[in-house]
Amino acid sequence: MPPAGARSSSPYDPDARFGNKRSTTWTGYKIHLTETCDEDEPHLITRVETTQAHLSDVAQTEQIHEDLSRRGLLPEEHIADAGFVDGELLVKSRTEYGVGLLGPVRPNVGWQARVEGGYDITRFEIDWERKKVVCPEGQTSRSWSPKVDKWGNQAIQVKFSRTTCGKCESRALCTRARGDPRTLTLRSKEEHEIIQSVRVRQGTAEWKEKYNKRAGTEGVFSQADRLCGLRRARYRGLAKIQFEHVITAASLNLVRMVQWLRGVPHAKTRTSRFAALKMSPNPC
């Protein structure tokens, strides 16, 4: 079978594509909504983007910023799902658009980060000027080679000496390769440093409290589904469905403006009965 983006998934709609997110699969499209989240202002949808279902979220972030900038609607801080965040976007959002992109980055998934005392990437000292890396045992890297990774990102591959790694007493904490030396794959200096910084900050209570604002966007999709049947398209073809989504967003904005003028407060995130029972001081 060809990739999802290269094949038609429906005989009725040639634009529809197969999509999946974790255990959920569907044939159709994705919708990306951007809304304001100020406490003392009505929460309004400022941008709507409809894409084919197979396209990744991270590919939409820069386009969202560009469109919001063109219309003078860029926020100082953009709170986004993890799927819309990577190192390059964290840097470009700040330098090109003046926007602080707030969202979790992927944790360090290397086995060294999960083993006590393991030599994960944070244990290595990187000298960006000399293009050298020093390992936790004090050994200096042998090579520094720019490359393009399998996702098309610019990266740097760092290798250590086979002889040095082969006789290292701490080899079991560093690599599981039988004979090859330790290698590291780095992003650019700016991306590497901002990713490491976010990984540290996203574990703090302050960061989590700020990111909690994003929970409100789930209410947008819930409201759009309950009032307008968002999850079922009435038309066929990407252009018509994009138009349907824009009309849906405009309708929600009208509903929200009326509620705001009537003094209806913003809805709060609901607590499930099981969660409430767990937080109760006397659950029995």
d(CA 156, CA 200): 22
Kindly report, residue by residue over 3-39, the tens digit of the pLDDT: 888 888 889 999 999 998 888 899 999 999 999 998 8
Q: Are strands 77-79 and 100-102 parallel, antiparallel or unpaired?
A: parallel
Residue 29 β-bridge partners: 52
Q: What tens digit of pLDDT does each residue of 195-251 get?
A: 999 999 999 999 999 998 888 888 899 999 999 999 998 999 999 999 999 999 999
| Residue recorded with tokens 């079978």 | 1
Q: Is pLDDT of 73 > 70?
A: yes
Q: Looking at the chain, list the stretches that DSSP marks H as alpha helix, in order from N- to C-terminal side.
A: 61-70, 87-97, 111-114, 162-166, 189-201, 205-211, 216-228, 238-261, 273-279
Exposed/middle/buried for residue 34 (C-beta within 10 Å: 0-12, 13-18, 19+): buried
